[in-house]
A and B are shown apart, each in its own frame.
Chain A
Amino acid sequence: MSEILNNSGLFLALLGAAFATFMAGIGSAIGVGKAGVAAAGVLSEQPDLFGKVLIFQLLPATQGIYGLLVGFLILSNVGLLGGVEEVSLLKGSLYFAASLPIAFAGFYSAIHQSKCSVAGIGTVVKKPDQMGKALILPAMVETYAILALLISILAVNGINGIQV
């Protein structure tokens, strides 16, 4: 029994890495998909706006990358990318906890950012010169993913240093 408990540390760390990556990834996939649908609609009428609407489509893509980032940091810290280390149950659970901010904030902020993106695409269609302002509004939503990313990174980094 104690052996199982001791070994599940690595499992929890991996679960954390997976959680960060797939939650934020799903959010981004939904977001980029929604914005892409709106962008494709614009292209049927105004193909020359491709460059501009593409930027709007890509805005919700970053959360997935933040998730990947945290996932990668965890994998790298527990040695799953070469030279597996002993990961205690506590340490594994800590890594799992550290993945939660970016997993959830990434998931929801990507979806809601895409709503702003879709609206921004609508603005750009009518007034292409208002691109700058239309771009700032979705960027506001991303702030919270960035804050979550920050905490996730700091936590993962901190856990690596402690001896438990």
Chain B
Amino acid sequence: MAMLKMQRIYIYALLKYCKDILETLQRRGVIEIEDMNLEDSVFYKDDTSAFQAQYQRLASTASEANGILSRYVPQKKGLLSSFKGRKQITREKYDELVDETQDILRIAYDIISCQKNIDTNEAEKIKYQTQLDIIQPWLSLDVPMNFTGTATTKAFIGKFSGPKTSTEIVTELAQIIPDIEGIEVEIIHSDQNQTCVFILTSKKDADAVSDALRRIGFEYPSYVSPVIPKQREKEINKHLSNRDGRILENEKNIKAYAKYAEKLKFLEDYYIMKAERYAVYDDIATSRNTFVLSGYIPEPDADTLKKYLEENYDAEVEIEDAVNDDAPVKLKNSKFTEPVESVLATYSYPDKHEADPTSIMAIFYYIFFGLMFSDAGYGIVMALACGICLLKFKGMEAGLRRSMKMFFWCGVTTTFWGLLFGSFFGDAVSVISNTFFHTPPPDIPGLVVPIWFNPVDEPMRMLMFSFLLGIIHLFTGLAIQAYNDIKNKEYLAIIYDVISWYLLVGGLILALLTMDMMQNIAGFTLPPIWEKAGLIMAAVGAVIILIFSGRESRNPIIRLAKGAYGLYGTTSYLSDILSYSRLLALGLATGVIATVFNKIGSMMGDSVVGIIMFIVIFIIGHGVNIGINALGAYVHTNRLQFVEFFGKFYTGGGKAFKPFKINTKHYTVKEEN
């Protein structure tokens, strides 16, 4: 339960070291740089937006080239590749690759230009293909398609839509121009869609015939071959194979670069890093020969960085405690509780004036998740899956690693509760033993008989246990509120806001437990003496709340009204506690659905088909159940933390510490020191 102490750092150095210092800071990733806002006669800000844009463009060039490359040379990607994270390279390897960047950039450009060639050729191919399709029906024509006639004749080469015979055309023409004779109609091609015709007439009748033709639906083809169609076909085919050759050649060129794929990825990272480094120039102030940089640094990193910069770059480093409220927050927790930080982060980071609740929240988080998932088999599957991934993929990204660790611990608690409640893939052991071995199952504690009790048989007991956990959870939240009050030296607030509620809610619960009704529900009642004690406690608590919860108002009437409203908050405690009944409901859901699948699986009885059916249904059914119930457990555990628990003490609103660091996609650089 800790927040790292945040310090302000100022770095003053010579401008000639600026690039090196920024590179160091980026690789170490310990400083969140803050805008200096310092501009006067000496200091000014460098405008580096042109450089940033240029490097971003180069980065996208590299990424585009790599994308093209992967289209022609598929890059192997395992099913679990997303777990692998970025590849780590050593400092020497990094320097080596940096020396090569110019060559690789040339390769990237080459790949892109090859692709452009391919695209142009593909477009050309489509054009030729269309021409080929158009002249296809004209292949038997033995004059060029732009043939218009001889000295005394006029030729019309074109088409009608739909099938037509030459007699039909002649008849139709005769109806429009009855006195013109000697029109020769030759059908070149005819099918369902079109009729291609060659019509010859004497030159003097040309205009009349042209007009008549238009009226009966004659049209010129959309592409006119300047040579005899047969010859044009040959030409086009030659063009097409030419284009194919060029495309193949370019593809070959691209494929030859296959071995540079990794280097192209590095190139992209390299330029992203450069662009980000240049973006920092917006925040620092430079003079002619010096520069100033300010930022936040967590205390543990401050001294090493100061020493390193002073020794290597003659820099002057000033460090002071950050006292302002908007300083960023970085959390530090033990290995066991740290994974839950990501859940906290989805709500809000703690404010400077309150404690980091991660460690306490983590314990409840694991317990509640386990109770809702509550099956030893499922817990083992989950813990094993996460554990194996964690061991196998060392380079996993930090965020994913955290979630994996969190679900590992959730799996462990799930197994624990599963054994206590005697659920192992539901009642799998009993079903298998009864169906396939025809004997009652051996009494293995945890797998067959519950170590503690079975919530399906005794739901009321489980409900009481859920409420008990809920009350502990809520009261712990109030205790953290007390801790915050101590931290902020508001000691009286502990009595007004924390102890008062302990008395009121605790007293009411005690009084409730003495009622006869509890005998049926919980199986026990407290002796009547507790009723009096409880009611007195509750009354004292209620009075404190009535008088003091509106203490910031001076007007006594408003103050009392606010107090009464505060007292109304008791109802929210009631609903908060009832809300923990989801621990029972979701826990039962997991167990009963697992039982349903076992039952369905065993319906075919003891036979070879029965065994196969059982295995198939077992795997699919329990797979689905794990998926749905793990989701439910995750969402509702979050809800119990965010709504019920945080509602009692947490305000949040802190700003997360976002250091200036290497934000690459493919590689990380290992730093020696």
Contacts and interface: CB of A to CB of B under 8 A. Distances in A.
Given A133-B346, A157-B459, A69 B581 contact: no
List of 3 A-B pairs having minimum Cβ-Cβ separation, nearest first:
A132-B346, A139-B639, A146-B582
A73 B459 CA distance: 13
A68 B643 CA distance: 28
B589 A59 contact: no
Contact of B586 (A58, A61, A81, A146): A146
B588 interface: yes
B638 interface: yes
Interface string B565-601: 0000000000000110110111011001101100100
A117 to B, nearest CB: 11
A140 interface: yes
Contacts of A81: 599
B628 A136 contact: no
Interface residues of B, number: 30
Contact of B585 (A68, A72, A132, A146): A146
B308 interface: no
B665 to A, nearest CB: 13
Interface of B: 343, 345-347, 459-460, 463, 578-579, 581-582, 584-586, 588-589, 592-593, 595-596, 599, 628, 631-632, 635-636, 638-639, 642-643
Contacts of A143: 579, 582
Interface size range on A against B: 20 to 34
A19 interface: no
Main secondary structure of the interface of B (DSSP, over half): helix
B632 A62 contact: yes
Interface in A50-102: 55, 58-59, 61-62, 65-66, 68-69, 72-73, 81
B581 A150 contact: yes
B454 to A, nearest CB: 12
B194 to A, nearest CB: 39
Nearest to A147: B581
A48 B586 CA distance: 30
Interface of A: 55, 58-59, 61-62, 65-66, 68-69, 72-73, 81, 129-133, 135-136, 139-140, 142-143, 146-147, 149-150, 153-154, 157
Given A133-B347, A147-B578, A59 B635 contact: yes
Given A62-B632, A131-B346, A140-B639, A150 B596 contact: no
A55 B585 CA distance: 20
B631 A146 contact: no
Nearest to B627: A58
A135 B638 CA distance: 9
Given A69-B588, A147-B581, 15 more contacts: A58-B631, A61-B628, A62-B628, A72-B592, A72-B595, A130-B346, A132-B345, A133-B346, A135-B635, A136-B643, A146-B581, A149-B585, A149-B589, A150-B584, A150-B585
B592 A69 contact: yes
Nearest to B599: A81
A154 B461 CA distance: 11
